[in-house]
Amino acid sequence: MKNSKRHIAIIMTISFLITSCGINNESESVYEEAEVELSSIVEDMEEITTLETVTVETSLDEQSEPAQDGDYIIFGHYEQDGDESNGPEPIEWEVVSEEEGRILLISRFILDCQPYNTEDAEVTWESCSLREWLNNDFYNAAFDESEQNQILTVILSNPDNAEFETEGGNDTEDKVFCLSVEEIFDNYEYDFWDGEYGYFQELVTEVTQYAIDQGVFNKLITSEYYTDYWESLGYTEDTVGLNCGFWWLRSPGDNNEYAAYGGYDGSVGWGLFGSALVSEAYGVRPAIYLNVPER
């Protein structure tokens, strides 16, 4: 607030000098000094307004300050801290890949809790209720009209389960979606492979308080648990203290009443038995495509 008042005072001084009794030697010196400072202020303001990404090295409850270059893109808003009285929080997106002038993003955190399908029936991604929820309820809640205009409509392939040959269904047109098992293995390197599953530290995902309140299973990674299990997967101690959960993939499980998912321990595999579609303990990490921003 102090800086804002100072900036206004400088601008008022310049305006006064120009519009009053003329610019003599003394006022010209004051004008030049004020002009230099105003130019510096404008440059600072331009730098602030062009920020598009943030660097976040901390856990969910320890957000870092924004920086111009970083690992996450801020885009849209969604309730996350569980306190709806203070409004929705900015969504952080991880860049999964960049291709043909567009970027694939996935939410950094598990944002909500939804079943893959509201009814216990055989479905594919094309017909599941989660797809409907993402492209309508979430899409309209998370993005304003300007942001919606930036999200690309893409044609998604939905391959059969490579292990069980479960039908993946038709290609679909989506704005918001879940990643497939194939997209995981195409874009991430696993830290450990047990012959059926890949274990990816990068896919260990924290759950927002709002998603926990909605019912997402969550597990706090303690030092003891890390030493007993996660260290053997090749994970680092950065995972200690994270509160992690399960999240849906759009790929089918061993039959069309089950769907694949990302495990709280970062596990993903084609031989996945999957989870029952109506499970209410699984979270959602929405994915979207945007045009590559100008750099």
**How does strand 192-193 pair with strand 198-199?**
antiparallel
Residue 31 is predicted with a pLDDT of 42
User: 147 in helix, strand or coil?
Assistant: helix
DSSP string for residues in 65-102 = PP-SS-SEEEEEEE--SS-GGG-PEEEEEEEEEEETTE
- Inter-residue contact 17 to 27 (CB < 8 Å): yes
Contact call for residues 208 and 84 (beta carbons, < 8 A): no
Provide the pLDDT for residue 274: 78
Q: How far is CA 144 from the centre of its chain?
A: 16
Each residue's pLDDT, cut to its tens digit, for the chain (295 residues) gives 434 433 433 333 334 333 444 444 444 444 455 444 445 544 444 443 333 344 333 344 443 332 223 479 999 999 999 999 999 999 999 999 998 889 999 999 999 999 999 999 999 999 999 999 999 999 999 999 999 999 999 999 999 999 899 999 999 999 999 999 999 999 999 999 998 899 999 999 999 999 999 999 999 999 999 999 999 999 999 999 999 999 999 999 999 999 999 999 999 987 666 788 999 999 999 999 999 866 5
Q: Which two tokens stand for residue 143?
A: 């993005």
183: buried, middle or exposed (CB in 10 Å: 19+, 13-18, 0-12)?
A: buried
Sign of the alpha-carbon torsion through 280, 282, 283, 286: negative
The CA-atom distances, in angstroms, between 88 and each of 124, 143, 146, 208 are: 31, 11, 17, 12
C-alpha distances out from residue 3 to 9, 43, 57, 245, 270, Å: 10, 15, 29, 43, 56
Given a contact cutoff of 8 angstroms between Cβ atoms, the answer to whether 254 and 275 are in contact is no
Q: What is the DSSP code (8-state) at residue 60? A: T
pLDDT value, residue 23? 41
Full-model pTM: 0.77
Amino acid letter, 261: Y
pLDDT at position 220 = 97
R_g over Cα of the chain: 24
Q: Where are the domains of the chain?
A: 2-49, 59-291
pLDDT of amino acid 100: 83
Whole-number pLDDT of residue 293: 65
| H or E element at residue 18 | helix 2-19
Residue 150 tokens, joined? 């930036």
